[in-house]
Amino acid sequence: MPPAAQEAPASRQPDSAPKDTLGCMSSHLRRDQGLRANGVDIHRKTMDMHQLHHVETEASARGVLLGISMRDGHSRRILDGHRASCHDFDKGSIYIRSFSDRYRADIRRPFDFVLLEISPASLERAIEEKEGKRVGSLAYVAGVRDEVLLNLACALTPALEHPASASMLFVDQLSVAMTSYLVETYGGAAAAAPRTNRLLSRSHEARAKEMLRSKIEGSISITEIADACGLSRSYFIHAFRETTGYTPHQWLIAQRLEHARALLTDFDMPLADVAAACGFADQSHFTRVFAQHSGAPPGIWRRRMRIGS
């Protein structure tokens, strides 16, 4: 890689050129997808241009930004005062930075990032919920590979591609998991207390299931349920899975499908009405999920039931 001093200066766009909230020229982005889940803004941003260009954001109180590279071959030069550092990003490489610092970088090559903008309140809650000694802040890293965050980011991409049919419970569950993991892994050297088997009490299990059933379309957050049970969000997710064998989102999908199978025995009920009654975004979303879990689309499943009866 040639020294920074020998490179052409970063291209400058007119001040009036539209920029996104992270300082990129909007016209440079081939893909700019976004979701919001309980204090965390989630994006996927892709740029295919090879032209060197400059990004910049002023200091603010927006919290922390996590970026996860979804492909190989990106690099950037990060400017800090009179110093500069160069970082390469392959698939699974991450960066963590605080919005409290002014950020300037020269983008050298195309990129594809899943990004989480974690609000101060969301980060503080994750820090409060962490077992062991309190973490003061996150380490700032760039170009570090993290397979756990890559896998979680890959799980988020279908929701970013199809936000209308995305389960907000699922997105919220993943954002809590990623924020908790960040605090555990990049929050300093404090040792966490050993984990024991986590189980929900019968009353907490019943309350959580009742709340999930009452919002069968998934318009409920992990925070709402955890608060109702008086538990931390990360503890609730682990305890629910240990108790039921499912994550909250998996359990809710199972309930939707059970309800759908019961409604499908009414052979005159339109599939679109079944989909709406079971909390799916539309008939195509219902068909896709039903076929994935049942081995056949709902129409074929219903015909088999009719023949069997």
User: Per-residue pLDDT for the chain (309 aa), expressed as one digit of tens each?
Assistant: 444 434 444 444 455 568 888 988 888 899 999 998 878 999 999 998 877 788 999 999 999 999 999 999 999 999 988 889 999 999 999 999 999 999 999 998 999 999 999 999 999 999 988 877 778 788 899 999 999 999 999 999 999 998 888 888 999 999 999 999 999 999 864 444 445 567 899 999 999 999 999 988 888 999 999 999 999 998 999 999 999 999 999 999 999 999 999 999 999 999 999 999 998 888 998 999 999 999 999 999 999 988 876
Could you tell me the CATH number of the domain that includes residue 52? 2.60.120.10
Q: Are residues 98 and 29 in the same domain?
A: yes
Q: Are residues 208 and 279 in the same domain?
A: no
Task: Tell me if 224 is assigned to some domain.
Answer: yes
Amino acid at 285: H
Task: Tell me if 302 is assigned to some domain.
Answer: yes
Task: Tell me if 197 is assigned to some domain.
Answer: no
Task: Tell me if 193 is assigned to some domain.
Answer: no
Domain count across the chain? 3
Q: Are residues 60 and 181 in the same domain?
A: yes
Q: Are residues 89 and 129 in the same domain?
A: yes
Q: Are residues 33 and 181 in the same domain?
A: yes
Tally Cβ neighbours within 10 Å of residue 210: 11
Task: Tell me if 170 is assigned to some domain.
Answer: no
Q: Are residues 97 and 130 in the same domain?
A: yes
Q: Are residues 141 and 258 in the same domain?
A: no
Q: Are residues 218 and 285 in the same domain?
A: no
Task: Tell me if 168 is assigned to some domain.
Answer: no
Q: Are residues 158 and 262 in the same domain?
A: no
Task: Tell me if 192 is assigned to some domain.
Answer: no
DSSP 22: T
Q: Are residues 120 and 217 in the same domain?
A: no
* Strand ranges in the chain using DSSP code E only, listed in sequence order: 31-37, 40-47, 53-57, 64-69, 74-80, 83-89, 93-98, 103-107, 111-118, 141-145
- Cα–Cα distances (Å) from 261 to 167, 210, 220, 264, 290, in that order, read 20, 20, 23, 5, 9
Task: Tell me if 37 is assigned to some domain.
Answer: yes
- Give the pTM: 0.79
**DSSP, residue by residue, 143-190:** EEE-HHHHHHHHHHHHHHH-GGG--HHHHHHHHHHHHHHHHHHHS-SP
Q: Are residues 240 and 260 in the same domain?
A: no
Q: Which domain holds residue 221?
A: 202-245
